[in-house]
Structure 1
Amino acid sequence: MCVWVPLWPVQRRLSGQPELNGRPLILFAEGRRGLSVSACSPEAVRFGIHVGMPLGEARSLLPNATSRRRRQDGSKPVCQRADPLGDRTQLQALAIHCQCYSPLVGLEDGAEPESLWIDITGSEVLFGGEEGLAKALRDDLAQQGLQVRVAIADTWGAAWAVSHYAEPVVSLVPAAGQTAALAPLPVAALRVPGSVADSLRGLDITTIGRLMRLPRESLPSRFGKELGRRLDQAMGRAPEMLTSERLVEPIAAEWLFEDPVTDRQSLDHVCAVLLERLLVMLEARQAGLRDLTCHWLGTDAEPLSLRLLRPTTERRHLLELLRLRCERAAFTAGVTGVRMEAVELGLPPVRQATLFEDETGEKHQRALAELVDRLSSRLGREAVLRSHLHPDPLPEFSCATLPWLEQRPPTPDTTAIPSQLRCRPLRLLRAPRPLSIDRFSPDGWPAQVDRSPVVRVSGPERIAAGWWRGVDAERDYYRLTLAHGASLWVFYDLNGDRWCLHGLFD
């Protein structure tokens, strides 16, 4: 069985954000020529927007955001950045959900999958046949806000082709009937590259039926091996494997008391025993603990959550953090049991041995990680922050703070940044503020700022961006050197017709 979720990136967002239904939705990503449309909703297609179109051109085709019609019906267009990794993760979660219909559920091959493959051998009898199983699954996903197309065939290739290009929403291909089912479908239904499909279309080979009339031995030399392999897989002459998603069993340990316990020392002892059991399980997997949750059974106390900067298996450090967090737990009733679960795992730090051991760097990293863990346990995750660079053209959004215990963002490639863009002041204001100008020059430049003459003006550097957030920014940046030695980073706002101070050079 092949379950196709058309426009999965769009449907995923609409199912999670119902307020976007009925509004033109555009997903964009970085391409060779800048930002371009990677997916769009049917409402956006009505305005002539298609995949691959530059984002600026797509925005120009959308209705005016200030029009009266938009204010009345709430159809304001929405532009969001594409998230292929998040789409794949959510599709994997959907595959796990569909394991109630069959234990073997996986994603289709491809970089950005939109379909699920389900091996329903022996499962159809539980739903009254193949048609009953297909309709039950379709209705189940419809309750989650997803529109799907389902096809059942003897091969994965035939099921994929029928689900994508046949008219019925639910299609059942009879046994050994893939030849008749595939014959009227276009060649693109074989999952061949677009260049191969275009070449066949140029020779008036528009359907799979016409392709099958060609001599089989002439296909590889004229169109490559991929076409013959996909045709054989659809017809069942070549194997195609299914990689099923597996539900990972949680790593957990539990201790139940005969009578409710309120003694803190007893709870600390039980936590130490359960932690030791978890570490034994992790040692078998050669993994380290990154995120830990401790549930207090029989009480209304909030579960204890412990997140670490890097995966570790050090019992002393983990036990110290557990005791710090347990001191803050408030119990209104006796605890009937303790359940400890490893939420996230990771590879512990591994350092290659050298001839002359020098563990200074490793000791500093370990000490820093332990310090961050202790501070975060005492003060909370949101109180221990670090700064990181963010690839944004507007300077005020190019740097942000992030909790230390969150996932590390990807390090930007500074070698690809032009040298003039790296010339930024070390001191950047949180938000631009109006510049106090005492006198202008005949050319319109600031001649005196804060009662100090301007001796040098460098620039401009134009930054026009931010329109995808709903606010356009058009600025000309300059570096002003004052007579008393201060060096300012200012800009002229083309939209607001004003001068603003944004940073100071040391």
Structure 2
Amino acid sequence: MRLWIGLYLPRLPLEVFCPRWSADQGSVVLEQERVLAASPQAQAAGVRPGMRRGGALMLAPQAQLHQRAPTLEAEALQAVAMALLQFTPQVAEGEEATLLMDVGASLRLFGGVRALCRQVLASLQALGFTAALGCAPTARGAWLLARSGGGRGLTMATLERRLARLPCSLLPPARPYLSWFEGIGCLTVGELRRLPRPGLQRRCGRALLDMLDGAHGQTAELFEWLAAPESFRAKVELFDRVEHAEALLFGAHRLLLQMTGWLCARQFAVERVSLALEHERGRVARPPTMLEIVLAEPTWRAEHLLRLLKERLAKLVLEAPVIGLCLEAPQVRPMMPPSESLFPEPGGSKEDRQRLFELLVARLGPDNVLQAVPLADYRPELANQWVSVQEKIRPADARAQLPPDMPSLPRPAWLLAKPVALLMRDHRPFYGSPLKMMSSGERIEAGWWSQTQTRDYFIAEGQDHAHYWVYRERLASADGQAEPRWYLHGLFG
């Protein structure tokens, strides 16, 4: 199924200067000394598009006036397009602040066209932009529906009925001839299509017919798709000087959405994220504050990264106000999507557990969330160490640390922190009841100088059928004991 989504950003000139998540007190965008767009606060004061500069200042003297910045608008449109790459790799820029997305191959992945449209609009809202969405089997049809305020025409029959009611003024090639169309009573696209094609082409040119044919699926449509860069680096200027770290989450979310789109387009998963908090420039300039998030498991999901960043920002105390953010992905690797198991684990997948560990590290610190790593030592109490979960220990490396001649005798699930000396009764070790040896001995001799240990380990069974891991010293103890003593070192489940 071929399906296109068209997105028209009518408030782009205004939202470049005051995004929807900003604390705007009234802004007006001017073009050639006339009002092009006004924020809701300025509109409430009476400012309207087309009004002269002086009239806008008289009605809203506290409003901030901005000259239209086509360069900033183009950068903002590119940022939105980068974020939309998470839904489809085929994103193209259209005329008049519009974006076109070929989403036919993405419908099943995102749960259908309605769910996909909701996610696209939610992403735009998180970015701080307002958009009208059109959905149609043709790109030009989706563009026209978006420019008219939004709508869906999922089949060609429905699309033709919707297009027939649209005004001719939506077609850019028809705008120079609107007075002539009004004179002959041709006001809608449907009436325009019923005019004789040879005469229409002779009067208005071929571009108008090509746009009509493209919207109705009668000609092929070619686009230049947005290409993701080789590396990711994005910046955002904040709407004001921010003195509290938690207030930076809105701008950081915008950058994370762009990075998610870049990761999906490049088929990468990020392992390390770097966020620079930029401070004042000029005479009082100071280096940016750096925040780094190291992931135990590579990811490309913005929700998980946002949770980690929220925890880090909640603990950060800013030494100076922040005026901008810069996000980079310095360490990435090829994306490996999770495989569906026939019998999934009840406790969640490995990725779910790694995301939980990363959230705990962000909240408690890397030195407070530890994992056990084996060491090449025959002594059981020294055969492992605790390191941070951020240190990656591959299974092959863990196996390589174990001695090649390590015996395959069973080990207890619970190793005591300190061996417990056992009583002797009738020449047998006693722990609640006399212990009966159930295995052959396992001899361990390891350590240097004062740390030398010579032990014979056995699996013992008590009268309650519980199993214990005990050992006997092969040498007499240093306290003058004549016979080697027995110790309890572990418990079996």
TM-score class, shorter-chain normalisation, is 0.3 to 0.5
Task: Provide TM-score, normalisation by structure 1.
Answer: 0.42
Task: Provide TM-score, normalisation by structure 2.
Answer: 0.43
Q: Which has the larger Rg? A: 2
